[in-house]
Structure 1
């Protein structure tokens, strides 16, 4: 560097991002070990422009407040993004300014969380492995060693962890368990709940917690070490009706590959292993219906274990694309276009001939694969009993509603309405008391309708009215875990007679999620991890926290984290605050936000490599992980029919030729051919395969 740049009295000329600045050497170097001290001392090489000014390739708009701080030691942050300014100050090594900006940021943060933060469960210790030598058996059976680290990526891609935060994740050398190279053994893979219990699934063990009004949450069960990675987990209510099971309050089961292991546990922390079962093929879904454990596979296998008979049996059915439960019924949506049901109450009657009594309930008029299924049972009436209402989505993008009247039980459900607004396969559908919600594979595009009811039963006058259209964008890892979709399911969550919510986790490695109404997409709240750790899984669950008369269950969001901990958030309070704010906003012109704003989305995307994400670009559809069950459905249908089946890039809607309601993503309505706006009769026209486009 030329000598005249190094003299203490010289004027220093800078070119910051094309904007020229002049200042003194003393102004730039009064902070030792800063970027400018190293630059002007020659420890960092410099580049000069044509005028001899030192060129620095940074944003000049944020250099202005930094230079003013160096001149006056005062800071005016009005109209300035503190987070970005802090990032620039870190680059220049202005440590006093970084500390002040960090304090400004932490005024709105606390390790105790916001008003919605309800509690925290520390990471569970690893189970003792009895197959190891004594000197290794207890190497990590107790509490994890605490060690500090720089921080994890948060929503903006930069360190947002408080200075007091600690990392309790062990190194590979500290663990006495075999590690899957792609899964951190501390990471909470799945969170699920039932009544006042929750179950956490780690890569090689699970544990259960129970809440009591007086003592709060405490651990009541931990499984032994599991050699294989946990893929699915299920938790059931108290088992009754058998003397040898009367002391077993809960049963919990895990699945890995085709294997299933199940235990029972009670409040006294007594655990008994019930057994190990084999479905014969990979388990895709694992859940309880009453005291029956049910496992399903997309290839067409259903396994059932019944608590009364202590019997496990496997039934072959048609390839499965979706399922739902209603009371004691299991409904299966299959790739051949049929909906089947199994009544679990009748299960013991058919033990001898090993028949689960699988009955066809309904056949899709177009024989499309049933890729999403939702059952709603109307409240019982002394006059008419239950109406059974079923909404289902298909691989061609249709959403249909069928109704079973109590007076027509022997005739089967009748087609009530068909919606053809989606142009991509349906991945989710939810029919509740007030709303019908459908989600397709194109960026989780959701369409919603209000449901009109008369005496609790769905009404045709005026029928279902379109309500909202929005997307629940959720990017995925380039190599997601086998249980990623289970642990990061967007919902909808909640009881069907209440407002349901979506939980949106925009990028894989983030410390924040958005809670949104499933009916309108409006943002209820933004949840941010209190310690800056990445959220690895989540679920919404209602707990009965009080036994007082008139006390109602409260809804909580449970977030599992990459460091092994679990954080709990009070969604009941969040909904109450939202409803108050919504009433206040109705008198103004402001629009309540939905998911992330453009600025928030850019910050979130700054923390991940979008090119490596499994989320699709606008020219490709749908997302890879959502394609898996749909692709299976198409392949399985193609193997059982002589008709030509389109590939997943050629999935075609038939709605344009059949009538009904259909519109493009840009709001442009496509041509119709007769029929009502929402309900229509199935036509006989054939559709032509074409490339998938946006809804």
Structure 2
């Protein structure tokens, strides 16, 4: 009997199969041709069948394809089957499965996909010899020249779309969709002539490090410069400014749109500035004002300021730029005031947490105190160089404060705004303090204490309807529904436990400042968490902060890994849009409109399906990644052998 008709007996994972030699070998250059030709050593069972240690169920599908040249994919895990086809080298079936996988994913995104901002033309690579930056752009134009040359795109959104298109399907296939590391850079021509170490540095410089938004503006920060985009109804998103290239790596940025006149140095800009941009590298802070009322865009350096210690937080409180550092006893706060053009720094002992409310900046400390700075009163003490840091409250147990959230009750005709503050401590306590009309003349009063956490609190959020706390045990979340009377938090019947769940994120602590899970959202609406499970992934899970329910799953349209993200409220023609902004290792930024899915997810269930009692709602089953999804994510990344909590315990 010739090989063509010979029967081959197989034992695949304990299941026996019998087929012909021709069936197994009609596809050339496969595992089976090598096995039956003797190029691969064979192992036989007690009955003489060739043993193959693979999944028998998936092998049965592959064998059926080899017999019939066809396959039924109903109720089949396409990704797992494709993995087996790649192992056995069945190229015709593997290509079909790749096409089936692509049918559910488009380079134009799904219905939530809102925008694609390609990498800018200028990408800078530090020169290893002298520390200067070398442009990898084809021309020698400086970043300011790029701003001038591209500013005409304000009148036409076609320019930007032509310069930076979404990669084609052919490019995506070369990148290897689903393997984020391989897909992080699709254009290998940019690497020609570079040594491996330079390529690694170039790739690190090219990826988006930080992304921020304010109103209808987005700032996308790379290692050595920042690019700004603006949204209009007629043009969509278009690039409008770019910062100068910095010698030092940018570690923090802050964006403030719609600043008033006089923001530029000397206050001689009668037309005012559309946006102000602050960046921090080490202890240095640089602040620019950009005016888009002229062509080309006018950029003015307001100043370079020194905090004296490494800047750990950079933010705007109104038009004031604030730099904070919580480096133990050397904690400092620096403020640049728009009206007075004055920079002040002051020691703020043991700074460990902060939040803003109106013109107030609240500072939690490792000694258990809550201090505040009123930015409106800031100019009154310039001669004394005093930021007017005032103590507002002292924790009764003097526990180090590690998270703080301020809620201003809605204004009323009788009492105006009244302050409610929730804060968390290093020992896991969550406390709520209030200053309502009945406590006029006194400091905030302790309202309620929760001791359900056993790890340091990393985030806390008090909103109109919910109190949400997160501890360092793999982002374990507890949420309570808040009872209110006439807009103020009430003890009758008091807060009610709502849900407990984890927002697992296996990232190094150094990566977390730009991958903050949340909660995000305005305090008078449903807030959300953004879950990025592993460092190199193209998938994010959007979840309700109140109960952990999954709102939607976001997947990169070009297969590149998400390097940073943020959530912003942008103005729209009819209502604000809640956008998820994702920076990618490819240098692009992708935008997703979460407004509709969040509204649907937050909508109460039908009365028949509602729980019998307020506190009896079970944990959401469709929250973060399922065990199968988690295994897929973990299979694409390297994990340490010893698991550890993704958050370091806060230090006193």
Relative distance call for 1:174 and 1:543 in structure 2 (3 A) is farther
CA distance in 2, matches of 1:506, 1:151: 25
Match of 1:238 in 2: 258
Deviations for 1:84-122, whole angstroms, at most 9, x for unmatched residues?
011101111111211222222222211111111111111
Aligned pairs for 1:661-676 within 5 A: none
Match of 1:382 in 2: 413
TM-score between the two structures when normalised by the length of structure 2: 0.86
Say whether 1:558 aligns with 2:585.
no
Relative distance call for 1:201 and 1:460 in structure 2 (3 A) is same
Match of 1:466 in 2: 497
Asked whether the 8 Å contact 1:254–1:260 carries over to 2, the reply is: yes
Match of 2:596 in 1: 573
Asked whether the 8 Å contact 2:123–2:136 carries over to 1, the reply is: no
Match of 2:534 in 1: 507
In the alignment of these two chains, the number of paired residues is 608
Specify the SS of the correspondent of 1:360: strand
Among 349, 353, 358, the alignment partner of 2:380 is: 349
Aligned pairs for 1:392-407 within 5 A: 392-406=423-437
Specify the SS of the correspondent of 2:580: strand
CA distance in 2, matches of 1:159, 1:51: 45
Asked whether the 8 Å contact 1:149–1:167 carries over to 2, the reply is: no
Asked whether the 8 Å contact 2:126–2:134 carries over to 1, the reply is: no
Specify the SS of the correspondent of 1:356: coil
Instruction: For residue 383 of structure 1, report the CA deviation from its aligned partner.
Output: 1.0
Asked whether the 8 Å contact 2:405–2:460 carries over to 1, the reply is: yes
Instruction: For residue 584 of structure 1, report the CA deviation from its aligned partner.
Output: 10
Instruction: For residue 50 of structure 1, report the CA deviation from its aligned partner.
Output: 4.2
Asked whether the 8 Å contact 2:291–2:298 carries over to 1, the reply is: yes
Match of 1:692 in 2: none
Relative distance call for 1:359 and 1:276 in structure 2 (3 A) is same
Deviations for 1:341-377, whole angstroms, at most 9, x for unmatched residues?
0001111110001000110000000000010000000
Relative distance call for 1:160 and 1:101 in structure 2 (3 A) is farther
Among 305, 321, 328, the alignment partner of 1:293 is: 321
Deviations for 1:9-61, whole angstroms, at most 9, x for unmatched residues?
32222222232322111101111122212222333343334443333221111
Match of 2:629 in 1: 600
CA distance in 2, matches of 1:420, 1:306: 40
Asked whether the 8 Å contact 1:183–1:203 carries over to 2, the reply is: no
Match of 2:307 in 1: 279
Relative distance call for 1:178 and 1:237 in structure 2 (3 A) is farther
Aligned pairs for 1:191-340 within 5 A: 191-240=211-260, 242=262, 243-246=267-270, 247-267=272-292, 268=294, 269-299=297-327, 300-340=331-371
CA distance in 2, matches of 1:235, 1:215: 21
Relative distance call for 1:583 and 1:533 in structure 2 (3 A) is farther
CA distance in 2, matches of 1:179, 1:228: 19
Relative distance call for 1:195 and 1:91 in structure 2 (3 A) is same
Match of 1:521 in 2: 548
Match of 2:157 in 1: none
Say whether 1:46 aligns with 2:42.
yes
Instruction: For residue 427 of structure 1, report the CA deviation from its aligned partner.
Output: 0.4
Q: Give structure 1 stretches of 5+ with no counterpart.
A: 617-621, 634-695
Relative distance call for 1:449 and 1:172 in structure 2 (3 A) is farther
Instruction: For residue 311 of structure 1, report the CA deviation from its aligned partner.
Output: 1.4
Match of 1:372 in 2: 403
TM-score between the two structures when normalised by the length of structure 1: 0.81
* Segment drifting more, 376-385 vs 74-83: 74-83
Match of 1:671 in 2: none
Q: Give structure 2 stretches of 5+ with no counterpart.
A: 142-162, 612-617
Specify the SS of the correspondent of 2:213: strand
Among 518, 521, 525, the alignment partner of 1:494 is: 521
* Segment drifting more, 14-23 vs 429-438: 14-23
Match of 1:534 in 2: 561
Asked whether the 8 Å contact 1:167–1:563 carries over to 2, the reply is: no
Asked whether the 8 Å contact 1:540–1:555 carries over to 2, the reply is: yes
Deviations for 1:282-321, whole angstroms, at most 9, x for unmatched residues?
1110001111110000131001111122111110111111
Instruction: For residue 203 of structure 1, report the CA deviation from its aligned partner.
Output: 1.2
Deviations for 1:122-180, whole angstroms, at most 9, x for unmatched residues?
1112267999999977547687999957666876x689979xx94479438469x9888
Relative distance call for 1:125 and 1:61 in structure 2 (3 A) is same
Deviations for 1:663-695, whole angstroms, at most 9, x for unmatched residues?
xxxxxxxxxxxxxxxxxxxxxxxxxxxxxxxxx
Match of 1:111 in 2: 107
Deviations for 1:397-424, whole angstroms, at most 9, x for unmatched residues?
0000001124534311000000111111
Relative distance call for 1:245 and 1:318 in structure 2 (3 A) is farther
Asked whether the 8 Å contact 2:29–2:89 carries over to 1, the reply is: yes
Specify the SS of the correspondent of 1:185: helix
How large is the RMSD of aligned CA atoms in angstroms? 3.2
Specify the SS of the correspondent of 1:235: strand
Specify the SS of the correspondent of 1:274: strand
CA distance in 2, matches of 1:531, 1:502: 23
Asked whether the 8 Å contact 2:458–2:470 carries over to 1, the reply is: yes
